[in-house]
């Protein structure tokens, strides 16, 4: 139990320490007198540039939205920056994710300076993947804690009886590799997320979990968790399964709700 709690603390430390600045790009700064064409030629690989001089910020220009006349100055076409499109650079990544349905990109503020840019497509960068991966591992560790929390061997054996013999053998092999004795609680700890999903959905907690996952079934949601986790583990794209900001927000909210419910149940057992 102590080792599981230590693992949970590690995952929570990861998700709380990663911030918006960990995925940000530097913010290109252009003078208001520069023409759009000149800015585009020098910053063609960027999408957004900040327009400012020594004393004033004029706004930003979108390099994917050229004016009719490419010789137009950046100051003439600068768009104002809405206040709700500026976030502190130290904003935790999980909090930043919640904001993307409002705007596709945000400016980062450090002290009184706009210093960076984050866009929704940046969720495919390693810090966000690490944050999501840690959150999904936290869910699996919380399920393990829930399955083993009451320490009744009869219940542990019941959970294991739900699995096919081949799945039990895989758990036994992993237990041997870890140097564990291979008792019921060891085997529960050594099962995969898919196995743990089957067991938790056949526990007394199943009705509660069904209310957490919204329109999607709890089984369907946990299956998607497994797919997203495998995609990240193999260097794939988060956007494959979570293409829209609302998809990612719903996914992380469901993860956190499920962790909260399972965690509170585990706390009741200690």
- Residue-wise pLDDT for 6-39, tens only, equals 555 666 777 788 999 999 999 999 999 999 998 8
Considering only CA atoms, which of 226, 225, 222, 187 is closest in space to residue 202?
Answer: 222
- Residue-wise pLDDT for 91-105, tens only, equals 999 999 999 999 999
pLDDT for residue 133 is more than 50: yes
Query: Pick the residue with more confidence: 28 or 217?
Result: 28
CATH assignment, 20-119: 3.10.580.10
153 CB-near residues (< 8 Å, 6+ apart): 184, 185
Using H for helix, E for strand and C for coil, what is the string for the chain? Answer: CHHHHHHHHHHHHHHHHCEHHHCCEECCEECCCCEHHHHHHHCCCCCEEEEECCCCEEEEEECCCCCCCCCCEHHHHCECCCHHHEEECCCEHHHHHCCCCCCCEEEEEECCEEEEEEEHHHHHCHHHHHHHHHHHHHHHHHHHHHHHCCCCHHHHHHHHHCCCHHHHHHHHHHHHHCCCCCCHHHHHHCCCHHHHHHHHCCCCCHHHHHHHCCCCCHHHHHHHHHHHHHHHHCCCCHHHCCCCHHHHHHHHHHHHHHHHHHHHHHHHHC
């Amino acid at each position: 139990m102590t080792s599981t709690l230590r693992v949970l603390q590690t995952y929570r430390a990861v998700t709380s320490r990663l911030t918006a600045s960990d995925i940000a790009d530097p913010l290109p700064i252009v003078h208001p007198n520069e023409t759009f064409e000149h800015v585009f030629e020098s910053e063609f690989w960027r999408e957004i540039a900040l327009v400012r001089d020594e004393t004033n910020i004029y706004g930003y220009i979108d390099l994917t939205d050229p004016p009719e006349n490419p010789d137009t100055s950046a100051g003439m076409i600068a768009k104002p920056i809405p206040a709700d499109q500026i976030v502190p650079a130290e904003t935790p990544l999980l909090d930043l994710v919640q904001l993307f349905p409002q705007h596709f990109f945000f400016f980062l503020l450090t002290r009184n300076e706009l210093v960076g840019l984050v866009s929704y497509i940046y969720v495919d960068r390693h810090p966000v993947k690490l944050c999501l991966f840690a959150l999904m591992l936290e869910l699996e560790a919380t399920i393990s804690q829930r399955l083993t929390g009451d320490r009744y061997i009869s219940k542990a054996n019941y959970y294991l009886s739900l699995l096919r013999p081949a799945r039990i053998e895989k758990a036994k092999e992993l237990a041997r590799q870890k140097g564990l004795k291979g008792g019921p609680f060891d085997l529960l700890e050594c099962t995969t997320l898919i196995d743990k999903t089957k067991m938790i959905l056949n526990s007394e907690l199943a009705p509660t979990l069904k209310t957490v996952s919204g329109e999607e079934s709890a089984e369907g949601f946990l299956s998607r968790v497994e797919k997203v986790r495998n995609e990240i583990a193999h260097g794939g794209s988060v956007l494959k399964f979570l293409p829209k900001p609302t998809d990612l927000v719903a996914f992380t909210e469901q993860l956190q709700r499920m962790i909260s419910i399972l965690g509170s149940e585990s706390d009741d057992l200690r």
